[in-house]
Structure formats: structure tokens, C-alpha cells
Amino acid sequence: AKPTQARDIATTIRRWVSADRIGEKHANAAYGNTAEEHITTDDDHRLINLEMYNECADILGPSHGRVVADFMDRLGQMLQELAFAVSRSDYTTTAKLVHPFKSSAAQLGAMGVSEVCRSIEMRTREKQPNEVDDTALASELVQLREVADATAIKLRAMTSEGGKEDPLAETG
């Protein structure tokens, strides 16, 4: 059975992501911070749901940074595999690749990634190549890459700041 409550999901994530598997290198990746990471867009609050992000951080405690780093690493790997699957018109694999990111992204508060993954999954699940609008799918893949990149920047900044303040709020 799939966990349905945030605490159940966090417990599952904790079991799935061990410190040994992630390693120190990945844990440190969550704390990278450059001037380029302080971008603002109209979609900031759509990219990251701060309430969900903070709830996950509270539940996971000190392992939260490692979970975020692992998520970003796996997201990058998935994007590469996704491009390869789409180039072969392998839509079964495409749907299978985005499916777990739909929920794991949402649990971390990365709603933009979750939404685009959901859309790609719906577009490709149980479809034959002649049933998929390749132009629309290509557009969604570009959107997923852009949203993933912007989300990674935001998550790194939020993880390094502890996530408790609202780094998405405008300062003035």
C-alpha cells in the first residue's frame, strides 16, 4: 500500500534514503549557493509550496538536506532517461519515469515539478506512439527542464537557509 499521510510518506522516505546511500558529497550539494540562485519569477510560489516544504523539513529533521539533495540528483538522472525514452517514442517508459516524481516532488513542496510530471504522465500513460501529440510533449519536456532547474535553485537556497523563513517573499 502507498503511504497517504505526510508522516507516513516521510517515514517511507527515511527508510528509502539512508545516509550511506546518499553520501557526504550529495548532502553537501544541498548547500550550494551562488548569486544566480537568487532569481525571482512570477511563479515562485507555484514552484515551491512553502507550507509543504516546511512540513517535510519538520518531519525529516536533520536528514532533510540529504533527502533534497538526493531528490535533485534523481531528478537530473530522470530527465536524461526521459529524453532518451521520448526520443525512442517509448511512452510506457516515459510515464513510468515521471510517475514517482509526481508524488515525491509534491511531498517536498516542489509543486511545479509535480504538476508537469503529472501532465506528462497523463499524456503518455498507456498510449501508443500515434496517440501522443509529440509537439505538446516536447513542449512539456522543455517546461519540465526549466521548472526542474528553477526548483533546484530554490530548494538549494531554502535548504541552506533552513527553510523556515519565506525566501520566496519579495524583499524591499
- pTM, whole model, 2 decimals? 0.70
Hey, where are the domains in the chain?
A: 6-29+39-161
Residue 69's pLDDT is: 92
Q: What is the pLDDT of residues 22-57, one digit of tens each?
A: 333 333 333 332 222 222 344 667 889 999 999 999
* Ranges under pLDDT 70 in the chain: 1-44, 161-172
Residue 11's pLDDT is: 53
Residue 7's pLDDT is: 55
Q: What is the topology classification, in CATH, of domain 6-29+39-161?
A: Four Helix Bundle (Hemerythrin (Met), subunit A) (1.20.120)
CA distance 93 to 22: 25
Count CA atoms closer than 13 A to 115's CA, side-chain side.
Answer: 13
Residue 35's pLDDT is: 23
Residue 113's pLDDT is: 93
